[in-house]
Amino acid sequence: MTETEFTGEEAVETATLPLDAWHRAKGGRMVEFAGYWMPIQYEGIMAEHLWTRENAGLFDVSHMGQLAISGDDVVAALEALVPGDLAALKPGRMRYSLLLAEDGGILDDLMITNEGDQFGIVVNGAVKWDDIAHLREYLPDDINLNHNEDYGLLALQGPKAVDALARLVPEAAGLVFMQTARASWNGHAIGLSRSGYTGEDGFEISLPNEALVAFADALCAMDEVKPIGLGARASLRLEAGLPLYGHDLDEAIDPIEGDLGFAISKRRREEGGFPGAARILGHLEDGPPRKRVGLIVDGKLPVREGAKLFDGEEEVGVVTSGGFAPSVGAPIAMGYVPTGLSAPGTAIAAEVRGKRVPCTVAAMPFVPHRYVRKQGG
C-alpha cells in the first residue's frame, strides 16, 4: 500500500508498513523514512530512549529487506561480493558484513545468517532495491535470490527483552548474541536472532505480515514493553557507536575508513578475492587517509549531520551523525577526520550556525554494549 504526495512537479509515493494503522492507533507520529511512513516517536524520544535502556522497546523495522539466497556454491558466490568468511559461518549463526563496490566502497552494511539450507540477508531499507539489483547482476545465474516481502521484521531491545519474548517464544532464552533459530508462534513460522542495533541485548523477529499485529499486541500487553520510534532508535545506535548507512557510510567510504576492519575476516585478509581488496588491504596495512570517529561536544548545543570539522582554521572533516545523547547527558556525534587526528582525546571544533563548538575525539561506543555473548553472561 502507498500514500501519494504531490510535490508540484511529480507524484511521490511513500509506502506504508504492514503495521501502519497499528502505529497510528498507538499515537505514533509518522514521518517519511527510507521511502516508508514510519513512527518517529510515540510519547517522546527522550522517554523512549531511556525506557529501552532500562526495560524493553519494540521497534518496527519491516522496511528492511529480507533476502534468501541459495544454490550450489552459494558460499563462493557471496564471498565474491562481501569480505566475510562465510565458509566458517556455522548454521544458526549470523555475521555483520558489507556489500562492496568494485573499488571497495561500501554499497550497504548487512547481516548474513547461515540458515542451513540457505543464507538469509537483511539489508537496509533505503537501498534494498539497489542491493537486490546488484546481487542479481553479480551473483551467478544458478544462484537463487528471493525477497521475502510477505514477512515483516520487529526488534525487541533492552535488558528485559529476553524475559518478555521468552513468554511468547521460549526458544529465545536459549540464544546468545549473533545466534539464530527457527520457531513458531500461534501456528506461524518465525525466525529469531539475538541481535539488534541499539547496543542493548535484544532480538530481531521475522514473522509473516498477517501475524504482526497480534504479535506486537501480545508484546505490548506486557508491562516492560512499549513501542519505540525512529528517533530513539537513532539516539540509541549513536550512543552505541553504530553507523547508519547513507549517513556514516556510503559508496565513497571503504571499511577501514569506516572503522569496520573487524568485518574483514582473517582468512579473507590473507586470501583477498573480494571487491576492492587491494585498496582495503592497503589501508589495513598502512592506515587509511581518514577515519570515522566519535566526538564528545562541549556545552549543550547539538552538532548535527553535515557540520564541518576544523583543526584550528583548517577544515578537516565532517559530522555524519549527531544529537543529544540521553544516557550520556550531553551532545555527541560521529564523523570523519584525517587519521592523524583520530586518536581519542584530540581536540577539534565543529561549526554550528557560524560558530566554532569545541569537540573532543572519543572512543566508541559512548555507552558500553550489553550483548549477551554466553549463556548467563
- State how far the Cα of 291 lies from the Cα of 207, in Å rounded to an integer: 38
Supply the pLDDT for residue 2: 39
In this predicted model, what pLDDT tens digit does every residue of 350-359 receive, in sequence order? 999 999 999 9
Q: Which amino acid is at 217?
A: D
Map residue 290 onto helix, strand or coil.
Answer: strand
DSSP 8-state class, residue 363: -
Supply the pLDDT for residue 13: 87
Does residue 10 carry a pLDDT above 60? no
Query: Which grid coordinates belong to 70?
Result: 541459495
How far are the Cα atoms of 62, 73, 107, 136, 141 from residue 86, in angstroms, in the given order? 25, 11, 19, 19, 20
Q: In the Cβ-directed half-sphere of 240, how many Cα atoms lie within 13 Å?
A: 23
Supply the pLDDT for residue 371: 98
Map residue 353 onto helix, strand or coil.
Answer: coil
Confidence of residue 6 (pLDDT cuts 50, 70, 90): very low
In this predicted model, what pLDDT tens digit does every residue of 96-109 receive, in sequence order? 999 999 999 999 99
Which residues in the chain are classed under CATH 3.30.1360.120? Answer: 2-59+150-239
How confident is the model over 114-122, as a mean pLDDT?
97
Does residue 296 carry a pLDDT above 60? yes
In this predicted model, what pLDDT tens digit does every residue of 227-245 receive, in sequence order? 999 999 999 999 999 999 9
Superfamily holding 2-59+150-239: Probable tRNA modification gtpase trme; domain 1 (3.30.1360.120)
How confident is the model over 14-22, as a mean pLDDT?
97
Neighbouring residues of 260: CB distance < 8 A, sequence distance ≥ 6: 98, 106, 109, 243, 249
Residue with cell 503495521: 19
Sign of CA dihedral 237, 241, 242, 245: positive
The pLDDT mean for the chain works out to 95
Q: Which amino acid is at 44?
A: G
Query: Which grid coordinates belong to 212?
Result: 504482526
DSSP 8-state class, residue 93: B
- State how far the Cα of 228 lies from the Cα of 262, in Å rounded to an integer: 30
Q: Give the whole-number percent of the chain exceeding pLDDT 90.
A: 95
How confident is the model over 284-293, as a mean pLDDT?
98
Does residue 9 carry a pLDDT above 50? no
Query: Which grid coordinates belong to 371?
Result: 550483548
In this predicted model, what pLDDT tens digit does every residue of 189-207 receive, in sequence order? 999 999 999 999 999 999 9
Does residue 223 carry a pLDDT above 60? yes
Considering the segment(s) 289-377 as one domain, its CATH architecture is Beta Barrel (2.40)
Question: Which of these, 115, 178, 100, lies nearest to 146 by C-alpha position?
Answer: 115
Does residue 83 carry a pLDDT above 90? yes
Which residues in the chain are classed under CATH 2.40.30.110? Answer: 289-377
In this predicted model, what pLDDT tens digit does every residue of 257-281 receive, in sequence order? 999 999 999 999 999 999 999 999 9
